[in-house]
Amino acid sequence: MGRVFAVVNQKGGVGKTTTSVNVAASIAAAEKRTLLIDMDPQGNASSGVGISPRTVKQGTYDVLIGRANLADVLKDTAIATLKVAPTSRDLVAAEYELIDREDRDLILRAALERVRRKFDFVFIDCPPSLGLLTINALCAADAVIVPMQCEYFALEGLGQLTETIARIKAARNPKLKVEGVVLTMYDGRNNLSREVADEVRKHFRVFDAIIPRNVRLSEAPSFGQPVLLYDARSSGAQGYLELAKELLGN
pLDDT number for residue 62: 96
Distance CA 52, CA 215 (A): 22
Residues 6+ apart with CB under 8 A from 110: 103
pLDDT number for residue 23: 98
Residue-wise pLDDT for 11-40, tens only, equals 888 899 999 999 999 999 999 999 999 999
Distance CA 160, CA 212 (A): 26
Residue 197: band (very low, low, confident or very high) from pLDDT cuts 50, 70, 90: confident
Q: Are the beta carbons of 40 and 84 closer than 8 angstroms?
A: no
Count of beta carbons in the 10 Å neighbourhood of residue 15: 22
Residue 86: band (very low, low, confident or very high) from pLDDT cuts 50, 70, 90: very high
Distance CA 214, CA 219 (A): 9
Per DSSP (E only), the strands in 126-219 are 143-149, 177-186, 206-212
pLDDT number for residue 193: 80
Which strands sit side by side in the sheet containing 34-38, from one edge to the other?
A: 75-76, 82-85, 34-38, 121-125, 3-7, 143-149, 177-186, 206-212
Residue 85: band (very low, low, confident or very high) from pLDDT cuts 50, 70, 90: very high
Count of beta carbons in the 10 Å neighbourhood of residue 143: 17
CATH class, domain 3-249, is alpha beta
Count of beta carbons in the 10 Å neighbourhood of residue 46: 31
* pTM, to two decimals: 0.96
Residue-wise pLDDT for 120-172, tens only, equals 999 999 999 889 999 999 999 999 999 998 877 777 778 888 899 999 999 99
Q: Is the pLDDT of residue 1 over 80?
A: no
